[in-house]
A and B are shown apart, each in its own frame.
Chain A
Amino acid sequence: MAKPRRKDDPSEKAMEYSKFYGGKVGFAPKVPVRSLNDFSIWYTPGVAAVSKAIQADPELSFEYTGRWNTVAIVTDGTRVLGLGNIGPEGAMPVMEGKALIYNYLGGVNAIPLPVRVGDEEELISFVKALEPSLGGVNLEDIESPKCFEVLERLRSEMSIPVWHDDQQGTAGVILAALFNALELTGRELKGTRIVFLGTGAANMAAEKLLKEAGADPKDITMVDSKGILHAEREDMDQLSLRNKWKYQVAIETNGDRRTGRLRDALAGADVLVAASAQGPDVVKRDDIMAMKGRAIAFFLANPVPEMLPPDAVAAGAEIVATGRSDYPNQVNNSLLFPAIFRGALDVRAKTITDRMVIDAAHELADFDKERKGISKTHILPTMVEWEVYVRVATAVGQSAIKEGQARKSLSRKEALHHAALMIRHARTTMGVLRRSGVIPGPPA
């Protein structure tokens, strides 16, 4: 018999509240309706003038409609959380949750949009067809390696930002955490030996981003369930056909040609980034002990990290991070994605380049350096510090302008002001809706 859930169990609450509220986000008007006469402005006949102006210059759709602040959260439901391929309907609660975070932390109008598609081509054409309505696309929970192809194609074929949070979002936060961990242990990115355990979306994207940020791929070693990835591994031909991204990584990383298992990769390594399988004993004490002194270890599997932080510290790791909020140093996508889109949307960005993500990671890493300071158990700010989103959004927008990817130019000051306004507006709206009872309190 299943154990009865406790009353404060989040699963229990999620079931109860979801039924009570019937969905987490909805549309609210942005314009006043003073009387029904106003519909002649907001709708026909007045609206035709706006439509004609946009027809003449489609770029005006970023100014005259809500497109500029609208993001679709698209998933095919093939790899949802740790639940696997649960289908688009099953994915909806997760996408709604994501939309709520976008709204509350980033002031972004996000539409949850799980879709039923046959193959990746269908997914790609669906997302492309959405472009006229959107300022950006957040791809979510799409299985690997399909997600690599989909992101790469959409990034090159669309003129609005396309973001796959499981790749770029996680990679960006990993990078931010790593910047500070390296600084605290007296290291530089160049010359640091980094081992990735797991070759899914997050680690593959992190490898790419680290390379862009200046790491030498020869100092990087990737390990998957078959062991160390190297150019002569027996499954290379298979990878060349089925996962060209992993194939490429196998060729360009692992400069000293290591073979074997995780421990062989970790011998003398500075950093371990594990995003692989549910812990707690995926990474063992001896693995960490094989690393260099002042080792850095991130265990990102959720909800159970590959190794529990106290065990990693006992084995000699100096800085340990996980995906969880109940241990120090949470590496959490939510620190980044609302700000990334806030910044990108504010300058009407055409894409989110890797450089923009790196600049965002630097800003995120620097945020607490200037405030409360960073330490071994505080390498990143937490989600409660809402100003961090304003700062990171501004960095992203400025980066987009520098990269030549912005439709609209804002000074740093203007960008800060606008991001703060948008994020504060979202929080104010929540306060007003709750106080007025439009959003009632949850059932007791």
Chain B
Amino acid sequence: MKIRHAAVDDVPAAADLIVRTKRLNNEFDPFFAVVSDVKPRAERYVKDSLGKSDRLLLVASVGPKIVGVVRAEIRERLFYEPSIEGFITDFYVLPEYRRKALGNQILQRASSELKGMGAQLIVAEVPSQNEIAVRFYTKLKFRSIVQHFGTSR
């Protein structure tokens, strides 16, 4: 497996994986119902992440195939120390490549890239009900630091 910065050519494949993360979130929680034009939105989202000093977009490939993606951004924490966080917004590995420690490798690489960009803390955001994601980060010694509460009532 190779991990590298995404290029313009990777946009469709990376966007496809981002769409899958969103759909997966919806499997766990109806507050993550996916919009009908999710595909073009994901492409725009991925494109906007390219070539910016405060954004990170890595893709993992096996042969010619993109099998994983991680997107993150550098955020300032106005009131707290450490004051710069590397914030992972999206992370996905294709099902058949899971359970082979690839996810861990991709995460390690993203963390070190983010640290190189100034991050002192690595944070990942996942829906609380997404047990696959929760299990993944918990296993890698992340702990829950913020909780979002939602209601539509």
Nearest Cβ on chain A to B82's Cβ, whole angstroms: 33
Nearest Cβ on chain A to B25's Cβ, whole angstroms: 9
Nearest Cβ on chain B to A337's Cβ, whole angstroms: 35
Query: Which of the segments A232-240, A326-334, A417-425 contacts the partner chain?
Result: A232-240
B27 touches A237 (CB 8 A): yes
| Contact flags A228-260 to B (C-beta < 8 A → 1, else 0) | 000110101110110000010001000000000
Task: Give chain A's interface secondary structure class.
Answer: helix
A251 touches B23 (CB 8 A): no
A234–B95 CA distance with the chains assembled, in angstroms: 10
Cβ of B96 < 8 Å from any Cβ of A? Answer: yes
B95 touches A240 (CB 8 A): yes
Q: 8 Å CB contacts to A: which residues of B85-110?
A: 94-96
A241–B27 CA distance with the chains assembled, in angstroms: 8
Nearest Cβ on chain A to B121's Cβ, whole angstroms: 29
| Contact flags A333-366 to B (C-beta < 8 A → 1, else 0) | 0000000000000000000000000000000000
B20 touches A234 (CB 8 A): yes
Contacts of B20 in A (CB 8 A): 234, 237
Cβ of B24 < 8 Å from any Cβ of A? Answer: yes
B96 touches A231 (CB 8 A): yes
A234 touches B96 (CB 8 A): no
Residues of B within 8 Å of A, CB-based: how many? 8
| Contact flags A307-333 to B (C-beta < 8 A → 1, else 0) | 000000000000000000000000000
Query: A238 — nearest CB in chain B belongs to which residue?
Result: B27
Q: 8 Å CB contacts to A: which residues of B47-100?
A: 94-96
| Contact flags B8-32 to A (C-beta < 8 A → 1, else 0) | 0000000000001001100100000
A237–B23 CA distance with the chains assembled, in angstroms: 8
Contacts of B96 in A (CB 8 A): 231-232, 251
A251 touches B27 (CB 8 A): no
Nearest Cβ on chain B to A229's Cβ, whole angstroms: 12
Contacts of A236 in B (CB 8 A): 94-95
A183–B24 CA distance with the chains assembled, in angstroms: 45
Query: A251 — nearest CB in chain B belongs to which residue?
Result: B96
A232 touches B27 (CB 8 A): no
B23 touches A234 (CB 8 A): yes
A112–B149 CA distance with the chains assembled, in angstroms: 50
A164–B132 CA distance with the chains assembled, in angstroms: 31
Contacts of A241 in B (CB 8 A): 27, 132
| Contact of B94 (CB < 8 Å), options: A231, A238, A247 | A231
B95 touches A231 (CB 8 A): yes
Contacts of A240 in B (CB 8 A): 95, 132
B27 touches A247 (CB 8 A): no
Nearest Cβ on chain A to B29's Cβ, whole angstroms: 12
Contacts of A237 in B (CB 8 A): 20, 23-24, 27, 95
Query: A230 — nearest CB in chain B belongs to which residue?
Result: B96
A240–B95 CA distance with the chains assembled, in angstroms: 8
Nearest Cβ on chain B to A270's Cβ, whole angstroms: 25
Nearest Cβ on chain A to B147's Cβ, whole angstroms: 23
| Contact flags B124-153 to A (C-beta < 8 A → 1, else 0) | 000000001000000000000000000000
A159–B23 CA distance with the chains assembled, in angstroms: 41
A247–B27 CA distance with the chains assembled, in angstroms: 15
Query: A232 — nearest CB in chain B belongs to which residue?
Result: B94
A232–B96 CA distance with the chains assembled, in angstroms: 8
Binding site for B on A (CB under 8 A): 231-232, 234, 236-238, 240-241, 247, 251
Q: Please provide the 10 A-B residue pairs with the shortest distance between their CB atoms, ordered closest to farther.
A: A231-B96, A237-B24, A236-B95, A251-B96, A241-B27, A238-B27, A240-B95, A237-B20, A232-B94, A237-B27
Beyond known contacts A236-B94, A237-B20, A241-B27: 7 more, CB 8 A cutoff? A231-B94, A231-B95, A232-B94, A238-B23, A240-B132, A241-B132, A251-B96
